[in-house]
Amino acid sequence: MRREVRISGFGGQGIILAGYILGKAAAVYDNKEATLVQSYGPEARGGAASAEVVIDEEPVDYPHIEAADILVLMSAEAYRTYGKSLRPGGTLIVEEDLVPLEEGQKAIKVPATRLAEELGRRIVANIVMLGALVAATGIVSKEAIVESVRTSVPPRTVDLNLRALERGYEYVKEKVRVL
Amino acid sequence: MSKRVLTGRHFMMGDVACAEGALAAGCTFFAGYPITPSTEIAERLARRLPEVGGHYIQMEDELASMAAIIGASWAGAKAMTATSGPGFSLMMENIGLAVMMETPCVVVDIQRGSPSTGLPTLTGQSDVMQAKWGSHGDYEIIAYAPASCQEMFDLTIRAFNMAERFRNPVLIMADEVVGHMTERVVIPPEEAIERWERPRPMVPPGEHFLPFAAGEDLVPPMPRAGEGYRIYVESLTHDERGYPVMSPEVHDRLVRRLNEKIRRAYDQIIDYELSEVEDAEIIVISYGSTARSARQAARIARKEGMRVGTLRLITLWPFPGRVVEELSARIRAFVVAELNLGQMAREVERFTDRPVFRANHAGGMMMPPELILASIEEAYRDAKGSRRQYASIR
């Protein structure tokens, strides 16, 4: 079944890398088909960044996303742009401290940046978010996402990133009632 | 030293897969002037080529880039450059030079919105006719259109092999969608990768040798500059010694041979993919990323009860006209979908008496499947005449 994931935030948050790691987990380690397309502004940091990942058992022909099954938003701007683009019944996951949700909107709220800071480096907030995503949706297997993180981040940061992944995963499993 | 062939399963961007394909094919030299959306190819090779004993040069412009790979090829290297529309225009003169001097080389064009600088970061397919006709003179070119990241790898290897085999420039006419998309790419073990080498002189240096005398296959053996062969390589019309000759007979003979060596090898060069054509009344022809949209459109059309098949052109040039001819006998109409205002559609028309409907967009986005679907519906509605009897094709 075709499942469409959009991860969006601002440049510098590691949005594209998060999309890459998710797609790689599916395509290389879960033996599914996956595509990643990316868009970002001309700025090195601070501009809008968005990754579109499509995962399917069948080959993916069309890699673009209209309405996502899973929407991960890590900035207020991303929420303004894509907040309404969730498919009915889809899963919305937001960075709790950066995304001001409209009243009544259901979402899985993860303070990813804070959790990353507790681990020592806010730069791994994207990986915390990935852990949360996998825990909340099961779109790829735990083993696949672990392996994908391990082979995608700089070697010296593997431990930190795996801790970040685990932290996001646990946070959702423990604190968030699945909607 | 790093490995030349990164055997394994990767999640890899198309541009990067193209660079890895070049390395796997044995490329040792890249000269280029980075331009979006092809920059990642240059970036990757700037890092990777020195790691495996090759050379990367950033040139002052695309004219020089093309000239540099011709020179490198004559020095014995497997050489490549990569660009996009604006740079491709600047390479035209020296692509003709490579054809005339029978110089193996690979030119990658990751197409973007054109004309001129157009849409630097967004996709297009409007250089496909320029690929065939952009340089002056009568010549044949070989061009491939990858539709996936895996094909960016595979077809780049094939491009190098064909360039060596026929001593001709070979083009990879990709588009931004395929260049910038990331997918699984499987890189086989090094020993499983087929590498062809250019034909080499049968006599040692010093002995009598005619560098432009060709045998049966019309492809002359190619010496390497500096090996000791006393050769002259020339852009003017030349005889079998390579010397300039201002004679209509020699000119006609040379130009015919340059064209004929490619035309004669049609079966070796042509590649395409047919899907669900057995009972098809309408066949959608497309290439590159648009072929992915066409597959989606055909699938939707089938669900709506329309009998639609697809022909994906993998080789753009020489044009796979014979398959269009063969299919023509058994369908009502073609739909040609492309991200330009109808370039390859004209070529299709040369090989069929069936109506050719068009699905076009000038570029800036991947072809929406709905746009192709609308053309399929139009073809279904408007293509007159009864469908001929089903005949099986290979």
CATH number at residue B155: 3.40.50.970
Question: Could you tell me which of B259, B393, B246 has the C-alpha nearest to residue B326?
Answer: B393
Burial of A157 (0-12, 13-18, 19+ CB in 10 A): middle
Last residue of a domain, one of B147, B163, B192: B192
Question: Could you tell me which of B271, B261, B83 has the C-alpha nearest to residue B163?
Answer: B261
Query: Is A28 in Cβ contact with B181 (below 8 Å)?
Result: no
Q: Is residue B203 part of a domain?
A: no
Looking at the complex, report in whole angstroms how far the Cα of residue B186 sits from the nearest Cα belonging to chain A: 9
* pLDDT one-digit tens code per residue, B100-157: 999 999 999 999 999 999 999 999 999 999 999 999 999 999 999 999 999 999 999 9
Query: Is A61 in Cβ contact with B183 (below 8 Å)?
Result: no
Q: Is residue B150 part of a domain?
A: yes
Question: Could you tell me which of B100, B45, B51, B55 has the C-alpha nearest to residue B233?
Answer: B100
**B20 & B122 share domain:** yes
Q: Region A64-77: what's the mean pLDDT?
A: 95
Last residue of a domain, one of B140, B169, B192: B192
Mean pLDDT (chain B) is: 95
Q: Which residues in chain A have their CB less than 8 angstroms from residue B299's CB?
A: 61
The neighbour count for residue A88, using CB atoms within 10 Å, is: 5
Q: Are B79 and B72 in contact (CB under 8 A)?
A: yes
**B155 & B278 share domain:** no
Q: What residue in B sits closest to A24 (Cα-Cα)?
A: B11
Spatial CB neighbours of B209, under 8 Å, sequence gap ≥ 6 = B201, B203, B223, B229, B230, B231
**B13 & B106 share domain:** yes
pTM, full prediction: 0.96
What is the distance between the alpha carbons of residues B237 and B85, in angstroms, rounded to a whole number? 29
Print the SS3 string covering chain B: CCCCCCCEEEEEEHHHHHHHHHHHHCCCEEEECCCCCCHHHHHHHHHHHHHCCCEEEECCCHHHHHHHHHHHHHCCCCEEEEECHHHHHHHHHHHHHHHHCCCCEEEEEEEEECCCCCEEEEECCCCHHHHHHCCCCCCCCEEECCCCHHHHHHHHHHHHHHHHHHCCEEEEEEEHHHHHCEEEEEECCHHHCCCCCCCCCCCCCCCCCCCCCCCCCCCCCCCCCCCCCCCCCCCCCECCCCCECCCHHHHHHHHHHHHHHHHCCHHHHCCEEEECCCCCCEEEEECCHHHHHHHHHHHHHHHCCCCEEEEEECEEECCCHHHHHHHHCCCCEEEEEECCCCCHHHHHHCCCCCCEEEEECCCCCCCCHHHHHHHHHHHHHHCCCCCCCCCCCC
Spatial CB neighbours of A159, under 8 Å, sequence gap ≥ 6 = none
Query: Is B11 in Cβ contact with A61 (below 8 Å)?
Result: no
Question: Could you tell me which of A161, A143, A140, A139 has the C-alpha nearest to residue A152?
Answer: A161
Using 50, 70 and 90 to split pLDDT, how confident is the model at A176? confident
At B394 the pLDDT is: 32
Q: Region B96-101: what's the mean pLDDT?
A: 98
Query: Is A33 in Cβ contact with B184 (below 8 Å)?
Result: yes
- Most distant pair of Cα atoms in chain B: their distance: 71
Q: Is residue A143 part of a domain?
A: yes
Dihedral sign of CA atoms A36, B87, B34, B69 in order? positive
What is the distance between the alpha carbons of residues B8 and A151, in angstroms, rounded to a whole number? 13
Q: Region B242-263: what's the mean pLDDT?
A: 98
Cross-strand bridge partners of residue A70: A5, A91
Mean pLDDT (chain A) is: 94
| CATH code: domain of residue A143 | 3.40.920.10
Question: Rounded to 5 degrees, what angle do the CA atoms B81, B57, B149 make?
Answer: 40
Terminal Cα distance for chain B, rounded: 47
At B206 the pLDDT is: 83
What is the distance between the alpha carbons of residues A53 and B174, in angstroms, rounded to a whole number? 21
Q: What residue in A sits closest to B178 (Cα-Cα)?
A: A37
Q: Total structural domains in chain A?
A: 1
Q: Nearest Cβ partner of B181 from A24, A33, A37?
A: A37
Q: Which residues in chain A have their CB less than 8 angstroms from residue B9's CB?
A: 28
Last residue of a domain, one of B129, B157, B192: B192
Q: Is residue A109 part of a domain?
A: yes
Using 50, 70 and 90 to split pLDDT, how confident is the model at A177? low
Q: Region B295-323: what's the mean pLDDT?
A: 97
What is the distance between the alpha carbons of residues B140 and B318, in angstroms, rounded to a whole number? 7
Q: Which residues in chain A have their CB less than 8 angstroms from residue B180's CB?
A: 37-38
* pLDDT one-digit tens code per residue, A21-44: 999 999 999 999 999 999 877 776
Q: Is residue A30 part of a domain?
A: yes
Q: Is A20 on the interface with B (CB under 8 A)?
A: yes
Q: Region B285-295: what's the mean pLDDT?
A: 98
Using 50, 70 and 90 to split pLDDT, how confident is the model at B384? low
Q: Is A35 on the interface with B (CB under 8 A)?
A: yes
Residues in chain B: 394
| CATH code: domain of residue B333 | 3.40.50.920
Q: Is residue B217 part of a domain?
A: no
Q: What residue in B sits closest to A148 (Cα-Cα)?
A: B11
Mutation choice for B interface testing from A5, A60, A62 by most B CBs within 10 A: A62
Query: Is B181 in Cβ contact with A63 (below 8 Å)?
Result: yes
Q: Is residue B143 part of a domain?
A: yes
Quick check: B392 pLDDT over 50?
no
Q: Which residues in chain B have their CB less than 8 angstroms from residue A20's CB?
A: 11, 182
Looking at the complex, report in whole angstroms how far the Cα of residue A49 sits from the nearest Cα belonging to chain B: 14
Q: Is residue B204 part of a domain?
A: no
The neighbour count for residue B149, using CB atoms within 10 Å, is: 28
Looking at the complex, report in whole angstroms how far the Cα of residue A122 sits from the nearest Cα belonging to chain B: 26
At B127 the pLDDT is: 98
Query: Is B11 in Cβ contact with A62 (below 8 Å)?
Result: no
Q: Is residue B163 part of a domain?
A: yes
What is the distance between the alpha carbons of residues B355 and B379, in angstroms, rounded to a whole number? 8
Q: What residue in B sits closest to A35 (Cα-Cα)?
A: B183
Looking at the complex, report in whole angstroms how far the Cα of residue A25 sits from the nearest Cα belonging to chain B: 9
At B122 the pLDDT is: 95
- The owner of tokens 């995503």 is A133
Quick check: B307 pLDDT over 80?
yes
Query: Is B292 in Cβ contact with A62 (below 8 Å)?
Result: yes
Q: Are B2 and B53 in contact (CB under 8 A)?
A: no
Q: Total structural domains in chain B?
A: 2
Q: Which structural domain, as residue segments, surrounds residue B149?
A: 8-192
Q: Is residue B251 part of a domain?
A: no
Q: Is residue A179 part of a domain?
A: no
Quick check: A65 pLDDT over 80?
yes
Cβ burial B200-214 (10 Å sphere, 16+ → b, else e): ebeeeeeeebebbeb
Question: ipTM, 2 decimals?
Answer: 0.95
**B288 & B164 share domain:** no
**B32 & B151 share domain:** yes
Q: Is residue A17 part of a domain?
A: yes
Looking at the complex, report in whole angstroms how far the Cα of residue B240 sits from the nearest Cα belonging to chain A: 50
Q: Is residue B47 part of a domain?
A: yes
Q: Which structural domain, as residue segments, surrounds residue A117?
A: 3-174
Quick check: B365 pLDDT over 80?
yes
What is the distance between the alpha carbons of residues A82 and A117, in angstroms, rounded to a whole number? 26
Spatial CB neighbours of A177, under 8 Å, sequence gap ≥ 6 = none
- The owner of tokens 């083009």 is B171
**B173 & B305 share domain:** no
Q: Is A37 on the interface with B (CB under 8 A)?
A: yes
